[in-house]
A and B are shown apart, each in its own frame.
Chain A
Amino acid sequence: MPPANRPPSPNGAPVHLAALGKDYGRFTALKALDLTVQEGTSLGFLGPNGAGKSTTIKIMTRLIRPSRGQATLFGLDVQREPTRALTRVGAVIETPEFYGYLTPLETLAYVGRLRRMARKDITARSEAVLKEVRLGEWAGHRIQEFSKGMKQRLAIAQALLHEPDLLVLDEPTSGLDPRGMAEIRDLIKSIKGKGRTIFMSSHLLGEVQEACDEVALLNHGELLLQGSVRDLSRGSGRSTFQATFLRPPTETELAALSGIAGIDEITPQGDGVFDLKISGGEEAQAAILEAMVRQGLRVTSFRPLGSPLEQLYLDRIKESDRI
């Protein structure tokens, strides 16, 4: 949207959630979420199923009302000024259904006209976004013939039509096959490259690591942590490595293994394979490998099980589940 047509943004961050909460009867889906996303940030909103991610996004896009707190987009309260607040936002909520009797071009024209875009802009942008999501050849086909993956791509196209400053994506690869997931991830990365703010919920850590530069972790309706993917990836301090030995270690060798500095826990997996919980970063990992070799253990492989961020994710979720 041209800057002149944009509603004022009174020092408002693209997303600001203040003590946001939602109850469904006696069940609390969201407790009191405080979260701010700065302009140009690509935030991965992580959490297991039922953590409150979709609830948050539905409040942000006015599909449901909060029980307490406030959601503002670019400084505009979504509940009080929904139409102005959503003007600069493009959203894909779950896998939306479209009107089967329309074609993608007609669907985009509908969205464009609802958003009061000029006809020539609708035409030009429709062609561009359909090409971007690789639906160009299907532009004139009725949507009733489309697969779930095609509908998901169309959902992204309609969200991008008006060149939004904030893109809200709720589980954008949900239900897609591996190829479809990879395509959507590539698409998100290309959108991110254009400097837009992205708020993407997912329960897939790898997806968030690949597409986002910030992460917020939610569980049981509470924010557990927020930070940059880079910092959290290196800052957890603990990781799990899997060591495979040429032959199963003897009792003595195992005792020596557990005595190596930096190894906190050893879990046998059978057939000469052991999971090692390790403290420290890359230096510590190298030292442990050297120590094992020095002690005569014939190591055939020594590889990380998941990323440090995954470890942090699992630890925090486990901790939060215990509470």
Chain B
Amino acid sequence: MMKDAFAQTLTVASYEVRKYLRGRRLIGMLVLLALIIGLILGVPPALGVKYASQPNVFVSTFAGFASLLVVLGGVLFAADALVSEHEKRTGYFLFPNPVRREVLVLGKLVASLVTSSMIISLYYLAATVAAVAVTGATTWEIGLSYAYALAYMAAVVGVAYLISAIFKSTVAATVLTFFLFTLIFAIVGSLLNLGKVAPWFIPTSAAGIIGDVLAPPTFGGPGGAFASFVPDATTSLLVFAAYFIAGSVLAILLFRRRELST
């Protein structure tokens, strides 16, 4: 039984990855990736600014955009994964098969993680190659930053799945996932900061370690007023894990109970 479920999970994952590979989203994401890398590498020489000579400082520029790529990955490769089966009526063909709903969610989850990881990996690979070419060296911290970015990605995907299991419209699920991680969490984090409450449990705050591990923040105002709070690495990783696990488990539970009656 478990063997069957495992094989079915892999089947679902492989077909979902195929969906992303054949879709326009992946191409769009790769174009965006190329654009970001091109701008980071092309703008300084065009303005007559020298590249940073330290590999960590050099890659920190890349790391500054990693969070945005992670969120876009979650939006494009996770936010509509579950809701679309209902809205686009593909569930009518998929669900009457002898496959447990949790297997379908797990397979899709694996596909979303694999596809988003591919994007992040490509980005960090480009950053590392550029760092070696420019500074002649690479560091462990670059690898750590990459690992943190992957952990943050898991948290984003987990939350995106939860949203996808709740909403009835792919557009609503996609838009909410995007604004949750680009705006809503940031606003909540800032308000908590103002209220002297450390927002250690907000994933966007924890995502600060992606850049901080390469170049610790410089305080922009008296008393560090302009520096946003970033929890330590262990706390950040625990926060990411909590969001990923809670999001995925709740998504499975909701998807199992959800009826296809449209």
**Which A residues lie at the B interface, using CB under 8 A?**
24, 58, 61-65, 82-87, 89, 91, 93-99, 101-102, 106, 110-111, 113-116, 155, 158, 168
Contact = CB atoms under 8 A, between A and B. Distances in A.
Interface string B223-262: 0000000000000000000000000000000000001110
Nearest to A55: B261
Contacts of A62: 95-96
B96 A89 contact: yes
A40 to B, nearest CB: 22
Contacts of B11: 110, 113-114
12 contacts: A61-B96, A64-B261, A87-B98, A94-B89, A96-B92, A99-B15, A99-B90, A101-B23, A102-B15, A110-B11, A113-B8, A116-B4
Contact of B89 (A83, A97, A106, A110): A97
A184 B216 CA distance: 68
B99 interface: yes
Contacts of A111: 97
Contacts of A158: 93
Given A101-B19, A115-B97, 19 more contacts: A24-B261, A61-B95, A62-B96, A64-B260, A82-B98, A82-B100, A86-B97, A86-B98, A89-B96, A91-B96, A93-B93, A94-B89, A96-B90, A97-B88, A97-B89, A98-B93, A101-B22, A116-B4, A158-B93
Contact of A115 (B22, B92, B98): B98
A29 B260 CA distance: 15
Contacts of A96: 89-90, 92-93
Contact of A114 (B8, B22, B23, B259): B8
B18 A101 contact: yes
A82 to B, nearest CB: 7
B7 interface: yes
Interface in B61-99: 88-93, 95-99
Contacts of A99: 15, 19, 90
